[in-house]
Amino acid sequence: MYAIIKTGGKQYQAAKDLTLIVEKIDGEPGTAVTLDDVLMIVDGEKVTVGSPFVKGAKVKAEIVWQGKAKKIVAFNYKPKKNVRKKWGHRQPQTHLKVTEVIGAK
């Protein structure tokens, strides 16, 4: 059984014991999190699609780690003007371990 969930403006496939890297979710490592925005549930041959979300479906997960992604470096320059600008960005992220997928009732 697995579910398609929406968090942080993105969609992820969540199955039991799977580790997901998602946009930052508030909480300390070891904290349980419930994700309610379930778009679809697949249980063998049975597929339940929400409109937009499946009512009563949830995905329970545990926060494993909070941190930042790899640095993205950007660089701008204007030729013949001696104008150069370099900057970077590290997106905050959360690593989740899915503990349970609860289907619709």
54-101 per-position pLDDT tens digit = 999 999 999 999 999 999 999 999 999 999 999 999 999 999 999 999
Amino acid 104: pLDDT = 74
Retrieve residue 44's tokens.
């063998």
- From CA 52, how far away is CA 9, in angstroms rounded? 14
Name the residue range of residue 80's domain: 2-102
- From CA 104, how far away is CA 91, in angstroms rounded? 33
Stated pTM of the model: 0.84
User: Domain tally for the chain?
Assistant: 1
Amino acid 41: pLDDT = 95
